[in-house]
Amino acid sequence: MSERTPMTKILSKFTRFAEAVAAIMMATMFLTFILQIAVRYSARLAWLPDIHPIFEPSNFGWTLEFCLLLWVWLVFWGNAFVVRPRDHVVFDILLNYVRPSLRRKFIIITSCAICVGLFLAIEPTWAKFYILRLKKTATLSSLLGDWVRMRDLYSIYIIFLVVVSLRYGWAAYRAIRFGVEEPENSNTEQKDA
């Protein structure tokens, strides 16, 4: 039985944290969606806001934008921190069929290309985000306050670019240093036949 290293323990705890954050975002998005439905149908009851002003439909315009914001964060957070490389849909017919040395070169080249491409996209993206520092959201100010700007809401994309770039850089390093593993669904039986 092998002991887990301190780095493995930290990585495992961070993975659980990232999954919990994604689950909280998904639950919050779902509850906001349910709130949207409730408000939409209660809006037909004209007497309800008179008795309970909290049910005034005009107070809930933020729900659509909030759901969209959570969806954007969920997609980029999930792809940066939760989704593992083996969970991605890949077209690896050629990759699985070639010999390990060529597979290693494929992985190094594609990982480096993705790493460099995403890393080079950070600066122009941040330049575009600089403009967004002035823009406020249309409806989320009532929920989050006036201090939140569009740049803050979409900052997850910068985090995504940095993290995924580092992940692919790590994949290239591992392929250079340790080689590549045999694919799980390899065609070795077909090659030998």
146-183: pLDDT as tens digits: 777 888 888 999 999 999 999 999 999 999 999 887 76
Determine the Cα–Cα distance for residues 169 and 163; give it in Å rounded to an integer.
10
Predicted TM-score (pTM) of this structure: 0.80
Residue 149 phi, psi dihedral angles, 5° rounding: -110, 165
pLDDT in tens, 49-75: 677 776 677 778 888 889 999 999 999
Determine the Cα–Cα distance for residues 56 and 51; give it in Å rounded to an integer.
10
Count each helix (H run) and each strand (E run) in the chain, helices first. Answer: 9, 0
Q: Residues 149, 69: contact at Cβ < 8 Å?
A: no
Q: Residues 95, 187: contact at Cβ < 8 Å?
A: no
